[in-house]
Amino acid sequence: MFLDLNVSPNERLFGMIGCAVGFLILVYLAFRIYRHIRLISDTPTALIRSAPQGYVEIIGHVIAGENGMLNSPLSQRPCVWYRIKVERRERSSDNKRDSWRTVRNETSESWFQINDNTGTCLVDPEGAIVKTRHKQVWFGSSEYPGSGYAMPGSGGFAQVGVFSRYKQNILGSSGRYRYTEELIFEYEPLYALAEFRSVGGGRERLDLKTTSAEILRDWKADQAALIDRFDADGDGKIDLQEWEQARLAARKEARARQGELDEIPTMHVLMNPDLRGHPYLLSTFDEEQLLTRNRWYMTGLMACALLAFWLGLELMLTTAV
């Protein structure tokens, strides 16, 4: 034993249980990240123009969606995706320590696009694990940043502290509120590991019989309109011959709907995969940077797991007093 522990039987038992649970959780998380590393390494890069349907890796650059650019609710910076968090500093009841309580947490859900010079693909960000280079943290005195806020390089700050993954520039961090903002900008490089699906271009085929039946059901729900359209003899009822005409009209309507689908141009979409154990990943870091970051995370988790195992072993070999 390397540690001279002085613990009671209860402390020893609960300590061993805590170390065992912590060890298992840390090992699980490490192997989960290892699986992500293998998927990133082993999934070949596909081109949008010829990508297979299913789980793919796409690398390109970001362009705005059909609805244009977004503005971040905190900094008002134009972007295609944002994730923001506002926290308030609160004093504990004993007045000895501060803690941060989240008062606002929001992630944009608007679709944007990725282009790899062979084609353009829509990106549905819902459910994605997003890793972005652009992360800002700063402080202020109100729940929403006021007019005194200024971004790095814009001429100054108004008692604001700003942090990024690459630099730390602290000009004041005593504000009651802390703002965190992550952004994806237009024209940034984007790495995507996602489900690739193509729609339109004649790919979708209707079951004409089922569609005709659905159309007839809709028409029957409005009896007045049905009689007005198909009551040829004017007796206020739909007889068998008139009902046959309605069925023919429904089949014609179903074929017309299929024709409309055939005319829709092909659209490609990246979305959250239904495959268990396959992450939906969007990142403005390139593949090698993602792999490096994940390897460091996995190493840190395994180191913590070994520490938990060692502490549990020490407790197990310690004689309780």
Judge if 101 and 218 occupy the same domain. Answer: no
What does the pLDDT read at residue 158?
33
Residue 134, C-beta contacts closer than 8 angstroms, at least 6 positions apart: 164, 182, 183, 184, 185, 284
Residue 58, C-beta contacts closer than 8 angstroms, at least 6 positions apart: 45, 46, 48, 51, 114, 116, 121, 191, 192, 194, 196, 270
Judge if 161 and 190 occupy the same domain. Answer: yes
Quick check: 114 and 190 in contact, CB under 8 A?
A: yes
Instruction: Say if 45 falls within a structural domain.
Output: yes
pLDDT: which is higher, 318 or 125: 125
Residue-wise pLDDT for 288-309, tens only, equals 999 999 999 999 999 999 999 9
- How would residue 281 be classed by pLDDT, with cut points 50, 70 and 90? very high
Mark residue 68 as left, alpha or beta (left: phi above 0; alpha: psi -120 to 50; beta: remaining).
Answer: left
What does the pLDDT read at residue 80?
95
- How would residue 150 be classed by pLDDT, with cut points 50, 70 and 90? very low
**Mean of pLDDT over the chain:** 83
Quick check: 89 and 100 in contact, CB under 8 A?
A: yes
Give 137's strand partners: 163, 180
Question: Roughly how many angstroms between the first and final C-alpha of the chain, as a whole number?
Answer: 16
Instruction: Say if 194 falls within a structural domain.
Output: yes
Q: Using the Cα atoms of residue 131, residue 137, residue 142 and residue 148 in order, give the sign of their dihedral.
A: negative
Q: Using the Cα atoms of residue 71, residue 76, residue 82 and residue 86 in order, give the sign of their dihedral.
A: negative
Share of the chain above pLDDT 90, in %: 45
Share of the chain above pLDDT 70, in %: 87
Instruction: Say if 59 falls within a structural domain.
Output: yes
- Widest CA span of the chain, in angstroms? 102
pLDDT: which is higher, 236 or 286: 286
What does the pLDDT read at residue 292?
92
Instruction: Say if 3 falls within a structural domain.
Output: no
pLDDT at position 235 over 50 = yes
What does the pLDDT read at residue 198?
86
pLDDT at position 179 over 90 = yes
Least confident of 57-61, 274-278, 282-286, 309-313: 274-278
Quick check: 65 and 285 in contact, CB under 8 A?
A: no
Residue-wise pLDDT for 44-77, tens only, equals 999 998 889 999 999 999 999 888 999 999 999 9
Quick check: 88 and 99 in contact, CB under 8 A?
A: no
Domain count, the chain: 2
The sheet that has 81-91: what strands, in order across it?
A: 98-107, 81-91, 177-184, 134-140, 161-163, 168-170
**Spatial distance between the Cα atoms of 177 and 140, rounded to a whole number of angstroms:** 5
Of 249, 264, 279, the domain-final residue: 264
Judge if 129 and 67 occupy the same domain. Answer: yes
Domain that holds residue 237: 208-264
Instruction: Say if 151 falls within a structural domain.
Output: yes
Judge if 239 and 132 occupy the same domain. Answer: no
Residue-wise pLDDT for 93-117, tens only, equals 776 778 889 999 999 999 999 999 9
Instruction: Say if 86 falls within a structural domain.
Output: yes
Mark residue 148 as left, alpha or beta (left: phi above 0; alpha: psi -120 to 50; beta: remaining).
Answer: alpha
Least confident of 127-131, 172-176, 190-194, 253-257: 172-176
Judge if 118 and 182 occupy the same domain. Answer: yes
Q: State which of 66-70, 156-160, 184-188 shows the largest mean pLDDT.
A: 184-188
Judge if 194 and 133 occupy the same domain. Answer: yes
Judge if 189 and 240 occupy the same domain. Answer: no
Q: What are the C-alpha distances in Å from 111 to residues 63, 64, 70, 213, 280?
A: 10, 8, 10, 35, 15
Instruction: Say if 50 falls within a structural domain.
Output: yes
Taking the model in full, what pTM does it have? Answer: 0.70
pLDDT: which is higher, 76 or 11: 76
Judge if 216 and 308 occupy the same domain. Answer: no
**Spatial distance between the Cα atoms of 229 and 54, rounded to a whole number of angstroms:** 46
Least confident of 53-57, 73-77, 144-148, 191-195: 144-148
